[in-house]
Structure 1
Amino acid sequence: MVACKETRAFIIALHKKGFTGKDIAASKIAPKSTIYRITKNFKESGSIVVKKASGRPRMSSKRQDRQLKLFQLRDQGTTSTELAQEWQQAGVSASGRTVRQRLLEDGLVSRRAAKKPLLSRKNIRDRLIFCKRYRDWISEDWGKVIFSDESPFRLFGASGKKLVLRRQGERYHQSCVMPTVKHPETIHVWGCFSAKGVGSLTILPKNKAMSKEWYQHILREQLHPTIQEQFGDEQCLFQHDGAPCHKAKVALGTKHQYFRSMARKLPRPFNPIKNLWLILKRRAYKQKPHIFDKLQALIMQEWAAISQDEAQKLIDSMPWRIAEVLKKKGQHCKY
């Protein structure tokens, strides 16, 4: 415990009056060890100020610390061990732990890299063109748009790292293992939604991916009824991405027949239905389905449970998505 100046002065005053350390501790002004340390220091130095221990001298100078930071910023994927080896060649013998401490002082911490699609020059240009075109749209404008997309769902599909709390010897206990399969069965799902809530959801046959024929069928049998139900005679815009099956002539003919000029291409990262898929997968996988039919039933159940408020919040985020991408000049950002 570090005692304040007033506490130290009071302890020394009692000490001068003949009180023992035990007597002073009885007043509960400070722990007994702190009282003995303060009185011992007073006897040796005649001062109530407790000198701080000098500690181990810092092994690197400020210039060398700046050099380490430059090493790290040159390649931010470099490990602390690799940085320690590079720093050693520059004259500083330090461990990986010391390297991490130095970088932490500069606010540099180790984090898992964000996964984002590779952006070509064309991708960046398309993103900027789209954002500049719709930069003045507000939530009410986006509320007249119906978004669509496809997504795969896999049995044992919650990929990535899983953290568990376990005791020693429980590494391979059933409750502490994340099961994996080499070729998991996959369900491909198509869905759409708007500010009015979720629309139709189509589950393709087992291990069947979207094709131009399926897309034509979905537009006619699923999307059109959803638009009629949510918008009636009110005009709306239908947004999708540039997947090959979406651009097929047979699908384009269907869209022209039913929706005339309403279909517009949307750069993939902007589609708020991506966030809806994350919500749906989190809720479905949380129940750990291990049977194909069970996963299929959970997908339908959880899709129907998504509220209109959740859909509206995603629509309301569109102006912020546009502004953020413009701010980053089309480069990677949150959206």
Structure 2
Amino acid sequence: MGRKKLTMEEKARALALIEQGMPVKHVAAELNVSRVSLFKLKKSAASLPTGTLPPRKLGCGRKRKTSERTDKMLVRELKQNPSITAAELKKKHPDLLQDVAVRTLQHRLQKDLGLPCRRAAKKPLLTDTMRKKRLQFAKQYRDWTPEQWKSVMWSDESTFRLVRGGSSLVRRPSTVSRYDAHYTVKTVKHPDSVMVWACFSGKRAGRSLLPSKERNSPDLNPIENAWNKMKNDLAKSRPTSIVPLKEALKKMWVTMDVSYLENLAISMPKRIEQVLKTRGNMTKY
């Protein structure tokens, strides 16, 4: 025997099939609903304009555990603190949420309010001075072509650890960038394990570089992507001591695809564009 209740989507499909001449018993079998429900639906729709679905009865279904006022409060709390958990929300607002289960709150945040739990991006902490420097650099080189960027020698140092840290979760609306400063976990570099220095350019072997005495902005240096790629690869092999860690790093750098490094160099116009767009704040690069 089929179910008695029909969703609005099932009502629309059922009426469409019945209008096409399909017998009620076949429609009931296809939608796994009772024939009685379909006969009632057909009777209710008969007095309505063509294409109109019978409305849901008032008071039908379980009463919502949260009110419109409560939902606004939840959104306001998550805007102020994207990392707050459903359990913490319940504890903070016992007057409004004492009868609401944590699981219900999680469902309301994710499904109804569009605030699913997402993994926060880790980005370097930017001070006001650093943001101004990024913006100034972007304005200065906004007209450079990919070929010019390929002639730059990119260099930097990075620390490679034997064990990488975990990540954090935040609730972020899908309309907001993952790299918005409010929704990222700030990280700070600390000396540890092995310190590595390297450099590259987008030019292939045998081609000269443009002479330059100016250092590149460290916050926009594409070599950071190469470091991150190497750290991700290390996380898979997980060397357990310094010696194999050093050997793995040397091998990774020597065997790195030249075209990958070239693509990093010519990505600078996009990086510049994003920095200008965010007024010096964080971007995905």
1:145 maps to 2:158:
no
**For structure 2, which runs of at least 5 residues remain unmatched after alignment?**
1-5, 46-53, 168-190
**Partners of 1:334 and 1:94 in 2: CA distance:** 37
Corresponding residue of 2:222: 272
Corresponding residue of 1:257: none
1:39 maps to 2:36:
yes
Measure how far apart 1:113 and its partner are: 2.9
1:329 aligns to what SS in structure 2? coil
Corresponding residue of 1:316: 266
Corresponding residue of 1:114: 121
**Partners of 2:114 and 2:86 in 1: CA distance:** 15
Cα pair 1:147 1:273 within 8 Å, conserved: yes
1:78 maps to 2:84:
yes
The normalised TM-score by structure 1 is 0.61
The normalised TM-score by structure 2 is 0.71
**Partners of 2:37 and 2:138 in 1: CA distance:** 71
Measure how far apart 1:285 and its partner are: 3.8
**C-alpha offsets along residues 282-327 of structure 1, whole Å, 9 cap, x if unaligned?**
2344233334333222222221221121011111211111111111
RMSD value, Cα: 3.3
**For structure 1, which runs of at least 5 residues remain unmatched after alignment?**
16-23, 162-183, 198-228, 238-261
Corresponding residue of 1:219: none
Tell which structure's C-alpha radius of gyration is larger. Answer: 1
The structure, 1 or 2, with the larger RCO (C-alpha pairs under 8 Å, 6+ apart) is 2
**Partners of 1:110 and 1:136 in 2: CA distance:** 39
Corresponding residue of 2:210: 236
**Number of residue pairs matched by the alignment:** 241
Cα pair 2:152 2:209 within 8 Å, conserved: no
Corresponding residue of 1:58: 64
Corresponding residue of 1:306: 256
Corresponding residue of 2:14: 4
Measure how far apart 1:47 and its partner are: 2.9
**Partners of 1:99 and 1:125 in 2: CA distance:** 40
Change beyond 3 A, Cα 1:52–1:146: same
Identical-residue share of aligned pairs (%): 31
Q: Within 5 Å, which residues of 2 pair with 1:141-290?
A: 141-155=148-162, 157-160=163-166, 186-196=193-203, 230-231=206-207, 234-237=208-211, 262-290=212-240
**Partners of 1:111 and 1:119 in 2: CA distance:** 22
Corresponding residue of 1:134: 141
**Partners of 1:314 and 1:71 in 2: CA distance:** 39
